[in-house]
Amino acid sequence: RALSSISTAVAGDRTLGGTELLVSEACLGTMTFGTFNNQDEAFAQLDYARSKGVNFVDSAELYPVPLTAPDWRAGATEEIIGNYLENIGPS
């Protein structure tokens, strides 16, 4: 499910693969959620991205965050995104 259906202010929209789903050309990387950013900070980043029309979120959490980071925990990013979606409700 896309985070928002608001019009894109940052970049245009693109069709995702062979689907009819429109996603923003800009994508929010969330790999630091739960490690370098707590849930409140993550919610603020998601709110800001949505306010700019971003509805494409990359939840891969291993790019710059090593598995040995003290706060790293598998699934933390997805939990925060899930909490955010539950908090904002259907759009």
Q: Which residues are catalytic?
A: 63
- Residues 32 and 35: their CA atoms lie apart, in Å, by 5
The residue count of the chain comes to: 91
Sign of CA dihedral 7, 10, 12, 18: negative
Q: Rounded to the nearest 5°, which phi and psi values hold at 33?
A: -65, 130
N-terminal to C-terminal alpha carbon distance within the chain: 10
Mode of pairing for the β-strands spanning 13-15 and 56-58: unpaired
